Amino acid sequence: MKPVKPRKKIIYVDDVSYSLMALKDRIKEEYEVYPAQNVQKMFTLLKNVQPDLIILDVNMPGTNGHDALKMLKSDPEYSSIPVIFLTANSEKEEIVKEVKLGASAHVNKPFAVKTLTETIDRVIAEAGHLNAFR
């Protein structure tokens, strides 16, 4: 019998509850998804969950995705967690800004499940290789 590989843990932050549930339903077979409707809930989750990846929306009331990424990268406890932006804004300037802030990737909404899961797997694998040298 083949051993069951533990699923990677992902925190997904989006203020739209439908988006949270839609993403979770589409990738729950491959990943353990922890939804958070705002950045404050993300930080609450981070106290109990060690994610392999965080997926952020950009446009959210209160703290937006860019500010959330700045907060993550400035905290040594969370700075090595890779972040993917999942957003409807696909302008080149937006993607450049995300990369400069420290994002690992950008996926457009609406997303193709295969594109998202391939991006997740690539980013987690790259983060694993980088952390092996630290």
CB-CB contact of 68 with 40 (8 Å): no
Torsion-angle region of 31 (φ positive above 0: left; ψ -120 to 50: alpha; else: beta)? beta
Q: How far apart are CA 98 and CA 74, in angstroms?
A: 15
Residue type, 47: K
Polymer length in residues for the chain: 134
Q: How many CB atoms lie within 10 A of CB 122?
A: 14
The confidence score (pLDDT) of residue 134 equals 43
Predicted confidence (pLDDT) per residue in 29-51, tens digit: 999 999 999 999 999 999 999 99
DSSP 12-31: EE-S-HHHHHHHHHHHTTTE
Predicted confidence (pLDDT) per residue in 65-119, tens digit: 999 999 999 999 999 999 999 999 889 999 999 999 999 999 999 999 999 999 9
Q: How confident is the model at residue 120 (pLDDT cuts 50, 70, 90)?
A: very high
At residue 133, does pLDDT exceed 70? no
Provide the token pair at 43.
Answer: 């930080």
Q: How confident is the model at residue 132 (pLDDT cuts 50, 70, 90)?
A: very low
